[in-house]
Amino acid sequence: MKHTIWAITIALAAACTGAWAAYPDKPIRIIVPWPSGGAGDTAARIVADGLSQRLGQAVVVDNKPGANGIIGTQAALNAAPDGYTLYMGNGDTNVLNPQTYRKLPYDASRPFEPVAFIGRVPGVLVSRTGLGAGTGEELIRIAKARPGSITFASWASEAPFTLRY
């Protein structure tokens, strides 16, 4: 984490080359497109604490949850590119949403400038014991054998869906 804090500090300073002597002269905001208490929020708070200590300026975590990260992502894309706003994006917000939603309220092709890799959160696939699926491949085989009979839910879904193969 120490190297991540330094990478972010250097990137913020480079983004504000015209204001070296004054930067940062106001609080820095980290937009997290997820609710408080989750992995992204926790990581952002650790980074914010380290940056605040190094820079001598407040670093505020600004949670903007909703719409599978779309609300926070839109807020980050609309922020002034002045080095005072960071965004804690991930694969859901930056890769899956543009592939999943037909129309987003922002231009998903506008790139973010990566500053640092903060961490990784593994995904988990579970099924009920009586289903008989011990692996992902077995689950797919069972779903194909029983079309429309297996439902699933995901943190990204608004309601359970039926697996269709």
Write down the pLDDT at residue 13.
56
One domain, residues 68 and 143 = no
Write down the pLDDT at residue 72.
94
Query: CB of 61 within 8 A of CB of 44?
Result: yes
Write down the pLDDT at residue 156.
54
Write down the pLDDT at residue 164.
44
Write down the pLDDT at residue 157.
47
Query: CB of 160 within 8 A of CB of 153?
Result: yes
One domain, residues 79 and 156 = no
Structural domain count, the chain = 2
- Which residues 6+ apart lie within 8 Å of 34 measured at CB? 40, 41, 63, 65, 69, 72, 88
One domain, residues 77 and 151 = no
Write down the pLDDT at residue 36.
93
One domain, residues 77 and 147 = no
Write down the pLDDT at residue 162.
46
Residue 115 falls inside a structural domain = no
Rounded CA separation 66/79 (Å): 18
CA dihedral 147, 152, 158, 159 (to 10 degrees): 60
Rounded CA separation 33/64 (Å): 5
One domain, residues 79 and 22 = yes
One domain, residues 51 and 89 = yes
* Closest C-alpha among 17, 18, 48, 19 to residue 32: 48
Write down the pLDDT at residue 10.
56
pLDDT tens sequence for the chain (165 residues):
655 655 565 565 555 555 456 889 999 999 999 999 988 899 999 999 999 999 999 999 999 999 889 999 999 989 998 889 999 988 778 877 887 788 888 777 776 888 888 887 777 788 888 898 998 899 889 988 988 888 877 665 444 444 443
Write down the pLDDT at residue 59.
97
Query: CB of 51 within 8 A of CB of 28?
Result: yes
One domain, residues 17 and 85 = yes
Residue 24 falls inside a structural domain = yes
One domain, residues 146 and 92 = no
* Burial (Cβ within 10 Å: 0-12, 13-18, ≥19) of residue 46: middle
Query: Which tens digit of pLDDT belongs to each residue from 28-75?
Result: 999 999 999 988 899 999 999 999 999 999 999 999 999 889 999 999
Write down the pLDDT at residue 24.
93
Domain that holds residue 155: 129-162
The domain spanning residue 27 has which CATH number?
Answer: 3.40.190.150
One domain, residues 74 and 19 = yes
Residue 75 falls inside a structural domain = yes
